[in-house]
Structure 1
Amino acid sequence: MSSLSQMITQYCSQECQKIHWLGHKPICQHTRAEKEKVSASYALSPDENIVKNLRKFTSAHTAILGWAGFQALQLKRVPSNIRQSALLIQLTPRNHPQSHCRFSITSTHIVNPRKHIRDPLVLNDIREREERCRRNGGIGTLVIILQCNDISQVMPVEVDPPSKITWDTREDWLEVLHHFVDSGRTDFKPISTTQRGVYYG
């Protein structure tokens, strides 16, 4: 027989273990507490878990998120919206084994990105992308902010000039976004109508 929490102290029988328990109990409890401290130090805090899961979620849903931002800001009709607006997607965590299903959409808002992004490194990255995009003839960098509690993930998307964008304008973008996120689908392809016909992707 051995002590369950330590698996170190050996006993010849349960009877001997019970007799020794009063003296062994404080040692056993201390060892268990120390093991829990060590385990806890390696475990991620709830905020660290949200950050990690938010990155994975954003990566898995990049196509639908970029498309939704494009539709929400109506960039095909009003390309200048890219300069003063961003799409804020507020999320709620949900318990799911797959990282791309660990959030559900609570609400969406069109916001001023300058009021929501304060990290100088993120702002600098957006600025650099903006400059590169404009040099290459694009309209700028679309900013999508995913927020869960007090934690945000910023997703900058460089947008081509409107003449190169063949995506159809969709008024039902929010329903489409909800459908793909809620169902855990990561296979989104936007619909484009061209002179050659309709295609996906």
Structure 2
Amino acid sequence: MAYAQPAAANYYTTPSNPTPRQRGYRLCDKCGAIEQPNMRFRLCGGCMTTQYCSPECQKSHWPSHKAICQHTSSQISTSKQQTMGAGVNDDIVKGLRKFTSAHSTLLGWAGFQALQLKRMPANIRQHALLIELRYQPNTDSLRRFALKSTHIVPRSYVTDSDPLVGEDILRREDRCRRNGGIGTAVIIIQCGEISQVMPVEVDSPSKITWDTREDWAAVLGHFVDSGRIDFKPISTTSRG
């Protein structure tokens, strides 16, 4: 399908340097606050996936977060030992964490489009988006990964194989639905044997003005391969 304009408002625009960090798309895992330009979220140092708006929220959430945090850290350590050399694996593990954080808006948008959540919200409970990356050593930390392929897989790919991660996804899903959303989209970012699960809490499709796009994979590849983290989704709807 051909489109009159790209899916990103700045698709053809060369970003200024340094590229501004994306803000406003993450939730504090304790209080649910939305990240803002003047509110720098902090990642859990153990699993590097859970984020908090303050040290107080991080501290008070630790008793319930401890199990999944230690489990995630243990799995990452096991993957490092079973695959390539330790030095390369360290780079991949650290790189995937930074990649997921830096591209949070792009990955969330790609998951929304790939699972066709605007047309079929129920897909959020059945499917997940698997993004395979190729590692390429580079002095620029934002260009150490290139898009290899994408796949739609059963959500059980994650939830059944790792019950503890599944429980954490369900916890987020319950919170999202209580707030009027449709649930948690599961995005798996993988490079070799090392992977990062990114749960994205999705608002009601009626409140999202993004158009349905079938060229999402090409857009994902454009921003990932060029090392750009300034993705800005656009809408051509009357409410966009």
TM-score normalised by length of structure 1 = 0.72
Tell me if 1:91 matches 2:133: yes
Cα distance in 1 for residues equivalent to 2:135 and 2:216: 22
Cα distance in 2 for residues equivalent to 1:72 and 1:96: 29
Q: Deviations over 1:106-127 (max 9, x none)?
A: 1100001222453344222211
The equivalent position to 2:236 in structure 1, one of 175, 189, 193, is 193
Cα distance in 2 for residues equivalent to 1:100 and 1:119: 29
The equivalent position to 2:205 in structure 1, one of 162, 167, 177, is 162
The equivalent position to 1:71 in structure 2, one of 113, 122, 125, is 113
Q: Deviations over 1:64-101 (max 9, x none)?
A: 11101100000000000000100000111011123222
Paired residues of 1:61 and 1:100 also in contact (CA < 8 A): no
Cα distance in 1 for residues equivalent to 2:112 and 2:226: 21
Name the counterpart of 2:28.
Answer: none
**What RMSD in Å do the two structures reach over aligned CA positions?**
1.7
Task: Give, as a single letter, the amino acid of the residue that structure 1 aligns with 2:140.
Answer: Q
Other structure's SS at 1:157 match: strand
Deviation, 1:44, is 5.3
Name the counterpart of 1:103.
Answer: 145
Task: Give, as a single letter, the amino acid of the residue that structure 2 aligns with 1:102.
Answer: R
Cα distance in 1 for residues equivalent to 2:199 and 2:145: 20
Task: Give, as a single letter, the amino acid of the residue that structure 2 aligns with 1:190.
Answer: P
Unaligned runs of 5+ in 1: 1-42
Task: Give, as a single letter, the amino acid of the residue that structure 2 aligns with 1:73.
Answer: L
Cα distance in 2 for residues equivalent to 1:62 and 1:181: 12
Name the counterpart of 1:48.
Answer: 90
Provide the aligned length of Structure 1 versus Structure 2: 155
Give % identity.
68
**Highest Rg: 1 or 2?**
1
Task: Give, as a single letter, the amino acid of the residue that structure 1 aligns with 2:147.
Answer: I
Cα distance in 1 for residues equivalent to 2:238 and 2:157: 41
Task: Give, as a single letter, the amino acid of the residue that structure 1 aligns with 2:123.
Answer: N
Tell me if 1:152 matches 2:199: no
Cα distance in 2 for residues equivalent to 1:82 and 1:162: 12
Change (3 A) 1:116 1:128: closer
Name the counterpart of 1:171.
Answer: 214
Paired residues of 1:89 and 1:109 also in contact (CA < 8 A): yes
Name the counterpart of 1:123.
Answer: 166
Paired residues of 1:133 and 1:160 also in contact (CA < 8 A): yes
Paired residues of 1:57 and 1:102 also in contact (CA < 8 A): no
Deviation, 1:194, is 4.1
Cα distance in 2 for residues equivalent to 1:73 and 1:195: 23
Which one has the bigger strand percentage? 1
Between the two structures, name the one with larger relative contact order (CA 8 Å, sep ≥ 6): 2
Unaligned runs of 5+ in 2: 1-84
Name the counterpart of 2:10.
Answer: none
